[in-house]
Amino acid sequence: MLSLFNWFSKNLSSTKIQAWKKKINAQISVNPHGDREQSRAAINAAIKILHAHNLKPQVNRFATEVEGSWNTIQSAISEIHQELHRQGLSKVSTDLHLCTKA
């Protein structure tokens, strides 16, 4: 994913990139691979991390929607993965859908 962002950074004008990085709508679905209790704790931890990054998560049945800068969203997802592995989950996957406006 980061390499795709680097490609956009190199191929779009700097004005568009700066606008693009300011506000992104993202739909995040964290998939902890563990038992029911581990999964429940993992999702709660992920939501707390999104709140800590001031992303104001809107949770629904299949994903969580947030709005923020690219750097903030990327940092939150990285922290979520680190925290869930720290909790003992050996595998965590995340589905990410982004909507940007230039």
Assess whether pLDDT exceeds 80 at residue 91.
yes
Say which range, 21-35, 46-60, 84-98, has the weakest mean pLDDT: 21-35
Residue 37 lies in a domain: yes
Tell me if 19 is assigned to some domain.
no
Q: Does the pLDDT of residue 33 top 70, yes or no?
A: yes
Instruction: Evaluate whether 102 touches 19 at the Cβ level (below 8 Å).
Output: yes
Predicted local confidence at residue 63, as pLDDT: 93
Six-digit token pair at 65?
């929607």
Output the pLDDT for position 23. 86
pLDDT of residue 25: 94
In a domain, 58, yes or no: yes
Whole-number pLDDT of residue 100: 86
Range(s) of the domain holding residue 93 = 32-102
For residue 7, being part of any structural domain is answered with: no
**Residues ≥6 apart with Cβ < 8 Å to 95:** 27, 28, 29, 31, 63
Q: Is the pTM of this model over 0.75?
A: yes
27 belongs to a structural domain: no
For residue 15 the two structure tokens come to 């004005």
By CB atoms closer than 10 A (0-12, 13-18, 19+), residue 35 is exposed
Smallest Cα–Cα separation from 30: which of 98, 96, 73, 94?
94
Q: How many domains does the chain have?
A: 1
| pLDDT confidence bin for 34, thresholds 50/70/90 | confident
